[in-house]
Chains A and B, each alone.
Chain A
Amino acid sequence: MVTLTVDGVKVSVKKGSSILEAAQAAGVRIPTLCHDKRLIPYGACRLCIVEVTARGKTRTMPACFNPARDGMEIATSTPALNSSRRTQLMLLLRSHPLLCPSCDAAGDCELQNLVFEHQIPDLPFARQSRYFHLDNDSNFIRFNMNLCIRCGMCVRICEEVQGQSEISFINRGMNTEVSTDFMRPLDCEFCGQCADICPVGAISSKWLVGTGRRFELSHVKTTCSFCSLGCSLTLEEKDQQTVYVNSSHDGPNEGSLCVKGRYGWTYAYSDGRLETPLVKKNGVLTEASWEEALDAAANGFARIKKSHGAQAIGALGSARLTNEEGYVFNRFVKSVLGTANIDHGGGISHLSLTEGIAPVLGYPASTNSIREIRNARVILLIGADLTETHPIAKNEIIMATGRKRARVIVIDSIKTKLTERDGIFLKAPVGSESIVVFSMIKTIMDEGLFDKASIGNKAEGFEALLESLADYTPENVASKLGIDVNSIREAARIFAQAPTAMILLSEGLYRDSSGVENARAAADLAVITGHIGKESCGIMALGEKANSQGAVDMGLTPQLLPGFALLEDEASRKKFDSLWKTKLPATAGLNAREILAGAETGAIKALYVVAENPVDDYPDRLQVEKAFKEAEFVVVQDIFFSSTAKLADVVLPACSALEKNGTFTSAERRVQTLRPSTKEKLGKSDLELFELLAKRMGSAQFTYSSPEAVMAEISKCCDVYAGVSYDGLGANGIIWPCKDSGDSGASILCQGGFPTGKAKLAPAGPLNAPVAKDGQFVLVQGVSKFHSGSMSMWSSSLIQVCPEPLAEMCTADMNTLGVEEGNTIRLTSETGESVRLKVKWSRRSLPGEIIVPCHFPSLKLNSLVKWNEPLVKVKVEKA
């Protein structure tokens, strides 16, 4: 810590902090035009100059990149400094057009504010205009370089934070502008960070142009409903319409958003939204009143329960539900419907990761927080193409590998954007990532690089693990998977010897079903190397949907009750029996796959699907479709008229995440508030629907007045949520475990010990790596950064950037098949199902692989995929 005085205020800051940060800590504002806390200090605008008195000498220096030192006395506002700032501003105004009345940044323009603050009435020299054309060619973003003050924040954030480097300064002197090479339209992530960070109106969001001045907009602070990173959103609204979305710089995501967060919200305004309930009459879904539809749903369930028993009902929930809705849904299914046949996310996705982590570490969740990634020295990515799935977590890796020179080990089947960073790329076929990790563990054990001092005290099962790894020698694994043996050794060494190392896992519905193995191997590796329970260490399991973690916490699985209580454990069951005033089933139910298989064979008669679209998302489309057709009674509750809803007997319109209250739990276990926008609400919230159905089915217990009341009940029965209440959530939420209302939560789990006493190392299974035959291609179900599936497909803006699925192939394979970019190809699975789509060249694809985005319902890609077969082998031919 260093102590210094800023404008007479004494302040202590961490060593290495800049003078600017010290001033901010002291509550003194220093004007800046080129500084942002996410960026490396640049010192271009010279407005942050301060007078520093140290060792008897007074000097003037920029505050943003000079470190604070002990005993400094800083003056931030003297006549000389202010005069210098005025001159700087005048020089900027010399070529900045003064068309403020027509500029959409007016009122939110840093330059305007500073000119106003320094009261510059006139310029002492002639103005000089620049004549750049207005560039409206890109999606979402408009460039008006006449307004540019060349602070470089857009160029820097694109490079330093996003890792894109899509824009650069071109030309020189007065004619410098920010553009792409040869001024082509943008072809990037479309994160909009450049437009968001621009202090003036030079780069702006097209949607904002002419829609409203910033000060006319009302703000609603909520949480993003796409992936599980829990970025906070501010909905900027005018006349009950969202016009623009940005993010508070004080939020957990520091103001960074990806394309889905910033531009994807248009799904809530989509024409595909369900507004009126539908009931099947004479084989056709027809519009019905709420009364009629709810009665039909309740009567249908009651009829099946009476004639075939509760075991003939299956329920599929979703990680799109809020915590409160998940909790009430679980209660509704397990008490009112009386069955434990409940699952979400196909029983794979994030759930499989937590199932791998929980037995080893004791918590079915990520152990650390997202913002710690930037300080890790080594980052291990297991099947995590974060650029496409979680762009904001990717930013952390860009920052770590860029300015902090961390190394990244990528275990993946395809080349990702992150394999270009400094580190090691271990190519593992889909589904065999865990084999490589176990091989790394074997190397670490053989070379004695494990955490010898504490392994005996902290973990058990060391010998069993060692024994199970006999086959996993790097040589053996390397020859089986075709990797370089030295890369495995090198990766193991740098991971084990790094002072801090983090493991990142990502799994979606679309990835293979080997998540449990991957997560188990990752947990073993973290424990063996001692990279757990410390800052910038541990495991992050990044789920696919907004409430992936919350759905696990609320027990939307056949075995669990809320708060990780086991259904088959009598004591926990008793607790919930008395809380829910019911008699819970004593055995675990069927998982998603078994429910659908049951529906196909007739064992399951009724299906209740909430916010999930199994037909488009689950593996084996034909089986899923057959299951829904065979089932006697299907109720679908969704915001869109999805492919699953088309097969339903009753369709109940739900409202979107932009229209309801509740909480989401992010991948870093942060419980965050969802607040409704002022737009018109379509449908009813899932919570209201569960209550209405429960009431119709004769249960009088469901009398929650609001999501807040549900959270009060959750905090009573889930230990980790004990201290969570709406009053305490504040702007940025609370991280669980949170013991009581005064507890702000623990961002690092397993600090100083494991909940079960010792970590239980899981032994590896037998080594069998799936391989494709000669002439067969491996289908990698990719994720496009512009889509997440269920909601993004209805978002006009995201469809505009990425309208159709394209198969990605490498040059060698394209030459062999004789196809060119834009040709149509046909993919045929081993069982004969085929799909057709266009092909494009890509750097990501390796020989023998074809990457196809899996979100597009029109493509029906999931018809090629089978349950529990991670490696999808296809025949590729020109169509």
Chain B
Amino acid sequence: MQERDALLKKKVESTVEVIPPEQLKALDEIIDKYAGTTQNLIPALKEAQEMFGYLPMEVQRKLSVGMNIPAPHIYGVVTFYSFFTITPRGRHTIRLCLGTACYVKGAKEMLEIIIRDVGINVGETSEDGRYTLEAVRCLGACGLAPVMMIGEDTHGNIHPPKTIGILDGYQ
């Protein structure tokens, strides 16, 4: 439990200078569309995330100034919804089910394999930008345990040693 808390509590590294100012200009369109009321913040954030793939500090700051919404408020919304992320995501999101059924049928081994061979833990993105690993509680397909989703595709009845083989199908 302590480890989990420590993981969740890991201080967010600031991502200053990741996005060049020219690219940030693209945000002006979103700001023009949504500026005016605080209620439009979530659609604006959604579109910004679609544009950049994630919501780093400078994107949030620019939205804050442009939409006249305090930056702490935006950050509060971003960290509240699991949909939003403040770190870059891989091209493919792996959603590995760690629910009870999957866990006993080998999801734990799958997680260990991914940690060892791909080199990413839960919540992390591989260095080559291919995968982001997420752990989920249940995908509602316990009959197919262990289950893993990659992007929109669902893979069931996985024999743990074949995990990497499945991942190789996604470049």
Report B67-94 CB contacts with A as 1/0, cut-off 8 Å.
0101111111001100000100000000
Interface centre among B9, B72, B86 (most CB of A within 10 A): B72
* Contact status B76-A168, CB under 8 Å: yes
Cβ–Cβ contact A168 & B73, under 8 A? yes
Given A130-B5, A171-B79, A172-B80, does the pair A183, B68 have CB atoms closer than 8 Å?
A: no
Q: Specify which chain B residues have a CB less than 8 angstroms from the CB of A179 in the assembled complex.
A: 72
**C-alpha spacing A179/B14, complex, angstroms:** 15
Q: Tell me the complex Cα distance, A165–B12, Å.
A: 21
The answer to whether B9 touches A181, judged by C-beta atoms less than 8 angstroms apart, is no
Closest chain-B Cβ to A769's Cβ sits at a distance in Å of: 31
| CB closest residue in chain B, given A128 | B1
Whether the Cβ atoms of B9 and A133 lie closer than 8 Å is yes
Q: Contacts A131-B2, A181-B60, A182-B57 hold; do A167 and B9 have CB atoms under 8 A apart? A: no
User: Are B14's CB and A168's CB within 8 A?
Assistant: no
In this complex, what residue of A is CB-closest to B1? A128
Q: Considering the chains assembled together, what is the distance between the CA atoms of A706 and B76 in angstroms? A: 56
Given known contacts A166-B72, A168-B70, A168-B73, A183 and B6 CB-to-CB distance under 8 angstroms: no
| Given the contacts A181-B60, A182-B14, A170 and B9 also touching, CB distance less than 8 Å | no
Question: Do B79 and A170 touch (CB < 8 A)?
Answer: yes
Say yes or no: B11 contacts A183, CB within 8 Å.
Answer: yes
Asked whether B6 lies within 8 Å of A171 as measured between CB atoms, the reply is no
Is A169 on the interface with B (CB-CB < 8 A)? yes
Q: How far is the CB of A398 from chain B (nearest CB, A)?
A: 13
* Complexed CA–CA distance, A133 and B6 (Å): 10
Task: Report chain B residues within 8 Å CB of A171.
Answer: 8, 79-80
Give the residue among B9, B65, B86 with the most A Cβ atoms within 10 A. Answer: B9
Size band of the interface chain B makes with A: 20 to 34
A132 within 8 A of B: yes
Q: Let me know if A820 is at the binding interface, CB within 8 A.
A: no
- Residues of B close to A133: CB separation below 8 A: 9, 11
Mark out the residues of chain A between 117 and 132 whose CB falls within 8 Å of any chain B CB in the assembled complex.
128, 130-132
Give chain A residues whose Cβ lies under 8 Å from the Cβ of B12.
182-183
Q: When the two chains form the complex, which single residue of B1, B8, B74 contacts A181, counting CB atoms closer than 8 Å? A: B74
User: CB within 8 Å of A: which of B112-131?
Assistant: none
CB interface residues, B 12-36, toward A, < 8 Å: 12, 14
A131 adjacent to B6 (CB under 8 Å): yes
Q: Which B residue's beta carbon lies closest to that of A186? A: B72
**Which of B28-79 touch A at CB < 8 Å?**
57, 60-61, 64-65, 68, 70-76, 79
Q: Within the complex, which residue of A128, A182, A420 is in contact with B68, where a contact is CB–CB below 8 Å?
A: A420
Identify the closest chain B residue to A164 (Cβ).
B70
Residues of A in contact (CB 8 Å), total 23
- The interface centre, meaning the residue of A130, A171, A182 with most chain B CB atoms within 10 A of its CB, is A182
A3 within 8 A of B: no
Q: Once the chains are docked, how many angstroms separate the CA of A182 from the CA of B79?
A: 10
Chain B residues with CB under 8 A of A166: 70, 72
Taking a contact as CB atoms under 8 Å apart, the answer to whether B6 and A181 are in contact is no
CB distance from B45 to the nearest CB of A (A): 13
Q: In the complex, which residues of chain A have a beta carbon less than 8 angstroms from the beta carbon of B61?
A: 181
Per the bound structure, the CA–CA distance linking A181 and B79 in Å amounts to 10
Do residues A170 and B75 form an inter-chain contact, with CB atoms below 8 A? Answer: yes
Contact of B79 among A130, A159, A172, A843 (CB under 8 A): A172
| A699 within 8 A of partner (CB) | no
A175, B10: Cα distance in complex, Å:
12
Q: How many A-B residue pairs have CB under 8 A?
A: 58
Listed residue (A165, A179, A843) with the most chain B CB atoms within 10 angstroms of its CB: A165
Q: Is A744 an interface residue (CB 8 A)?
A: no
Task: Indicate with 1 or 0, residue by residue over A171-197, a CB within 8 angstroms of chain B CB atoms.
Answer: 110010001111100000000000000
Is there contact, CB below 8 Å, between A181 and B75?
Answer: yes
Bound together, the chains give a CA A167 to CA B2 distance in angstroms of 26
Q: B85 CB to closest chain A CB, in angstroms?
A: 13
- B57 — which chain A residues lie within 8 A by C-beta? 181-182
Residues A125-161 near B (CB distance < 8 A) = 128, 130-133, 159
Q: Are B9 and A168 in contact (CB under 8 A)?
A: no
B59 to chain A, nearest CB (A): 12
| B80 / chain A contacts, CB cutoff of 8 Å | 169-172
Taking a contact as CB atoms under 8 Å apart, the answer to whether B76 and A131 are in contact is: no
Measured in the bound complex, the distance between the Cα atoms of B134 and A315 in whole Å is 76
Pick the most buried of A128, A131, A170: most chain B CB atoms within 10 A of its CB.
Answer: A170
Chain A's closest residue to B70 (CB) is A165
Contact A168 B75, beta carbon cutoff 8 Å? yes
Smallest Cβ-Cβ distance to B71: which chain A residue: A181
The verdict on A167 contacting B72 (CB below 8 Å), with A172-B80, A182-B14, A183-B11 known, is yes
Contacts of B73 in A (CB 8 A): 165, 168
User: Bound complex: CA of A843 vs CA of B61, how far in Å?
Assistant: 14
- Complex Cα distance, B75 from A168, in Å, reads 8
What is the minimal beta-carbon distance from A770 to any residue of chain B, in angstroms? 32
- Min CB distance, B153 to chain A, in Å? 29
**Shortest beta-carbon distance, B134 to chain A, in Å?**
16
B72 touches A175 (CB 8 A): no
Q: How far is the CA of A420 from the CA of B2 in the complex (A)?
A: 44
Q: Is the CB of B72 within 8 A of A165?
A: yes
Chain B neighbourhood of A165, CB < 8 A = 70, 72-73
Question: Which residue among B5, B61, B76 has the maximum number of chain A CB atoms within 10 Å of its CB?
Answer: B76
B75 in contact with A182 (CB, 8 Å): yes
**Across-interface contacts of B76 in A (CB, < 8 A):** 168-170
Complex: A105 Cα to B9 Cα, angstroms: 25
Residues of A close to B70: CB separation below 8 A: 159, 164-166, 168
Instruction: Give chain A residues whose Cβ lies under 8 Å from the Cβ of B71.
Output: 180-181
Q: Which of B9, B68, B72 contacts A131 (CB 8 A)?
A: B9
Question: Are B5's CB and A181's CB within 8 A?
Answer: no
B-chain residues with CB within 8 Å of residue A130 when the two chains form the complex: 5
In the complex, the chain A residue whose C-beta lies closest to that of B14 is: A182
Complexed CA–CA distance, A131 and B76 (Å): 19
Complex interface bits, A403-425 against B, C-beta within 8 A gives 1, otherwise 0: 00000000000000000100000
Bound complex: CA A164 to CA B72 (Å): 10
Contacts A170-B79, A181-B60, A182-B75 given; indicate if A175 touches B68 (C-beta within 8 A). Answer: no
Q: Is the CB of B2 within 8 A of A181?
A: no
Chain B contacts of A182 at CB under 8 A?
A: 12, 14, 57, 75, 86
Closest to A181 in B: B75
Closest to A175 in B: B8
Question: Considering the chains assembled together, what is the distance between the CA atoms of A131 and B70 in angstroms?
Answer: 27
- Assembled-state Cα–Cα distance A171/B2 (Å): 17
A172 CA to B82 CA in the complex, in Å? 10
Q: Once bound together, how far apart are the Cα atoms of A164 and B73, in whole Å?
A: 11
Give CA–CA (A175, B6) in the complex, Å: 11
- Distance of A632 Cα from B74 Cα, bound (Å): 63
Chain A residue with the shortest CB-CB distance to B11? A183
Q: Which residues of B contact A168 (CB under 8 A)?
A: 70, 72-73, 75-76
- Please provide the chain A residues from 627 to 641 with a CB less than 8 Å away from any CB of chain B in the complex: none
A525 to B93 Cα, complex, angstroms: 65
Task: Report yes or no: A132 in contact with B72, Cβ–Cβ below 8 A.
Answer: no
| Chain A: minimal CB distance from B94 (Å) | 23
How far, in Å, is B120 (CB) from chain A's closest CB? 22
Q: How far is the CA of A131 from the CA of B11 in the complex (A)?
A: 12
Q: How far is the CA of A490 from the CA of B57 in the complex (A)?
A: 39
- Report Cα–Cα, A192/B61, bound state, in Å: 24
30 pairs across A/B with beta carbons < 8 Å?
A: A131-B5, A131-B6, A131-B9, A132-B9, A133-B9, A159-B70, A164-B70, A167-B72, A168-B70, A168-B75, A168-B76, A169-B80, A170-B76, A171-B8, A172-B79, A172-B80, A175-B5, A175-B9, A180-B71, A180-B72, A180-B75, A181-B60, A181-B61, A181-B72, A181-B74, A182-B12, A182-B57, A183-B11, A183-B12, A420-B68
Q: A130-B5, A170-B80, A182-B57 are in contact. List 7 more A-B contacts (CB 8 A).
A: A131-B5, A168-B70, A169-B76, A170-B72, A180-B75, A181-B71, A182-B12
**Nearest 9 interchain pairs by C-beta:** A165-B70, A181-B75, A168-B72, A168-B76, A181-B71, A170-B79, A181-B72, A171-B79, A131-B5
Q: Name B residues whose Cβ lies closer than 8 Å to a Cβ of A.
A: 1-2, 5-6, 8-9, 11-12, 14, 57, 60-61, 64-65, 68, 70-76, 79-80, 86
